[in-house]
Amino acid sequence: MPVRKIFVAGAGTVGQGIAEAAASAGIEVVLSDIDERHLDIAINGIEASLNSLIERWAITASEKRTILSRIQPVVGLKNSEDCEFAIEAVPEQLDIKKQVFREFDRNFDAQTILVSTTSTLNITEIGRVTRRQDRVVGMHFPFPIVKTAVVEVVRALKTSDRTFEAAKDLVVQMGREVVEVNEYPGYITTRVMVPFINEAIHALMEGIATAEAIDKAIKLGFGFPIGPLELADTLGLDDLMILMESLYKELGDLKYKPCPLLRRMVRDGYVGKKVGKGFFTYMNGSGNHADTGS
């Protein structure tokens, strides 16, 4: 049976991406945040994302209206009937995630599956605050969520097979491929990509080549659609550094230690596309870099 309705807590970038992807696949979404202002920003963000799809001819204006009509914004973690999944997409901090899961557990039907979108925190630990640890599972949506065709579905220690299968089915219904992973810091995508990006930053810092040359070599040399430095700009250098520090702390290996140049750029506020400048300079958020920075 296809999923009809899900609840998404947290209307930031991740929550918006999940809501848009689910609604585009015909699933009703209750999108929640702490106040109206955050929800307004989120709905505007989703609308802007859908508008950019219309500009690229990917969807029509009437499809946009249908997709938006499936997203119902609500303030707070109120019980919403018939939600088969409750997904947390709140900031990557253990206490906040635990608090949300506690409320999920209290407010939602016993059958509802609880999902965490964390990529570095421990889902078993987050799930421990609930009375339904068999119905707790992880889903890591690599960024940018709307465009990325893969989701890492994460089995926590006590996740039941039924829950895991249901989570995989939801991902497929959202038109994405599933990669099964066991709980371990960084899973596949973050774990493999972060040291790769960091190495590229080292290469830049050590003066091996310009940022443009590094990205060009990797893109054309290995058929990557995007180079590591532009990818870093896309992810946000501040968020990238948080991921690295978390991996460094959890795994203790020096290869996860953020490159000094990354630290300096974050300190200086050059955190990537969202501010128009990172390793490259961006014009009005178009995504195409205009000239090399750094």
Partner 1 sequence: MRILVLNSGSSSVKYKFFDTGKRLCLAEGQVERIGLPGSLLHHKRFDGDRIRTGVEALDHGKAIEIVIAVLMSENHGVISEKGEIEAVGHRVAHGGERLTESALITDEVRKAIHDCIELAPLHNPHNLRGIDACKQLLPDIPQVAVFDTAFHHTMPASSYIYAVPYILYRRYGIRRYGFHGTSHRYVAGRTAELMRRELASLNVITCHLGNGCSVAAIKKGKSIDTSMGFTPLEGLVMGTRCGDIDPALVLYVMSKENLTVAEATAMLNKHSGLVGISGISSDMREIENQAERGEERAKLALEVFTYRVKKYIGAYAAAMGGVDAVTFTGGIGSNSAIVRAKSLDGLEFLGINLDVERNRGAIGVDSEISSSQSRTKVYTVFTNEELVIALDTERIVSSLEHQRR
x/- map, 21-50, partner 1, by CB under 8 A? -----x-x----------------------
Kindly state whether residue 226 participates in binding partner 1, applying the rule CB under 8 A: no
- C-alpha to C-alpha distance for 176 and 153, rounded to whole angstroms: 11
Q: Which of 64, 111, 117, 82 lies closest to 7, judged by CA?
A: 82
Minimum CB–partner distance for residue 138 and partner 1 (Å): 27
Kindly state whether residue 81 participates in binding partner 1, applying the rule CB under 8 A: no
- Count of Cβ atoms closer than 10 Å to residue 253 Cβ: 10
Segment interacting with partner 1, rule: CB under 8 A, options 57-65, 183-191, 213-221, 268-276:
57-65
Residue 272, sorted as left (phi over 0), alpha (psi -120 to 50) or beta, turns out to be left
* Site size with partner 1, rule: CB under 8 A: 10
- C-alpha to C-alpha distance for 137 and 164, rounded to whole angstroms: 7
Contacts of residue 142, defined as CB under 8 A and 6 or more positions apart, other chains included, come to 148, 150, 151, 152, 189
Segment interacting with partner 1, rule: CB under 8 A, options 53-61, 177-185, 195-203, 256-264:
53-61
DSSP character for 129?
A: T
Among 40, 51, 52, 58, binds partner 1 (CB under 8 A): 58
Kindly state whether residue 234 participates in binding partner 1, applying the rule CB under 8 A: no
Kindly state whether residue 222 participates in binding partner 1, applying the rule CB under 8 A: no
Side by side, which strands form the sheet with 177-182?
71-75, 28-33, 5-9, 85-88, 113-116, 136-140, 150-155, 177-182
Q: Quick one: 195 or 287, whose CB is closer to partner 1?
A: 287
Kindly state whether residue 131 participates in binding partner 1, applying the rule CB under 8 A: no
Q: Which of 1, 8, 2 lies closest to 108, judged by CA?
A: 8
Kindly state whether residue 57 participates in binding partner 1, applying the rule CB under 8 A: yes
Kindly state whether residue 60 participates in binding partner 1, applying the rule CB under 8 A: yes
Among 59, 150, 188, 205, binds partner 1 (CB under 8 A): 59
**Three-state SS at 46:** helix
| 30, β-bridge pairs | 7, 72
Kindly state whether residue 56 participates in binding partner 1, applying the rule CB under 8 A: yes
Minimum CB–partner distance for residue 57 and partner 1 (Å): 3
Q: Quick one: 58 or 192, whose CB is closer to partner 1?
A: 58
Q: Quick one: 12 or 26, whose CB is closer to partner 1?
A: 26
Task: Say which residue the tokens 């969520």 belong to.
Answer: 145
Q: Please report, as ranges, the residues that interact with partner 1 according to CB under 8 A.
A: 1-2, 4, 26, 28, 56-60
